[in-house]
Amino acid sequence: MLTVDFTRFPLAAGDRVLDLGCGAGRHAFECYRRGAHVVALDQNAEEIREVAKWFAAMKEAGEAPEGATATAMEGDALQLPFPDESFDVVIISEVMEHIPDDKGVLAEMVRVLKPGGRIAVTVPRYGPEKVCWALSDAYHEVEGGHIRIYKAEELLGRMKEAGLKPYGTHHAHALHSPYWWLKCAFGVDNDKALPVKAYHKLLVWDIMKKPLATRVAEQALNPLIGKSFVAYATKPHLPRAAVADAS
């Protein structure tokens, strides 16, 4: 289940990609399949081990084109272990709402992104997330949980302040908003509640089968209750005068 829409966020074979806070690796795997040189980074050692296993399995199965590479590594988003201008593409999906110093993370992403490079940022959308917070304190008051809710204009403003130039936005995963509302209403750790179990089965069926009816329904509902807000931006090239002054 991808949150980034690669029809709006073009990725070329050979691009060097950083999936920052990669989690289980869903976007990193897609970039690898598209022929990129992928670095999947996360602070969670257990998830990184699993992502590395999946990279190896994909290579063994021939799921990635010849020449594509993939590396999974532990790291700190506030102190990325890469030189300036190392990546053509940076993806950070459902991460920034967890990090107190979100401006610092943006600064690090901009630092390692090449001029002309592209970045995709996804966060929980304000409206659906506010409902979750209202229904359940346990949803966000956990170690490593969500510490803020972004309004779209706030996130875009911070991206601009960091030196990025946003070029597109959209919402995603509308069918997942009601699921999380149910989870929050019945208890975030209560997977046995009948409405939660029934809706979870629907989501699994939708992800596995991708039926037209639910695809059309989600596309129609995304602008209204999409669970995630997605923003795309580029890192502008320095003006020639600035380049000359820097040299």
Report pLDDT for 109.
98
Indicate the average pLDDT of the chain: 95
**Encoded tokens for 36:** 């990129």
pLDDT over 50 at 247, yes or no: no
Say how far apart CA 235 and CA 244 lie, in whole Å: 18
Residues 131-168 pLDDT 10s: 999 999 999 988 888 999 999 999 999 999 999 999 99
pLDDT over 80 at 241, yes or no: no
Measured in residues, the chain has a length of 247
Residues 58-85 pLDDT 10s: 999 999 999 999 999 999 999 999 999 9
- φ, ψ of residue 89 to 5 degrees: the values are -140, 135
Listing DSSP states for 140-203 in one string gives TSSTT-------HHHHHHHHHHTT-EEEEEEEE-TTHHHHHHHHHHH-TT-TTSHHHHHHHHHH
Report pLDDT for 237.
87
| pLDDT classification of 240: cutoffs 50, 70, 90 | low
Report pLDDT for 9.
97
pLDDT over 60 at 170, yes or no: yes
- For the entire predicted model, the pTM comes to 0.93
| pLDDT classification of 244: cutoffs 50, 70, 90 | very low
Residues 209-226 pLDDT 10s: 999 999 999 999 999 999
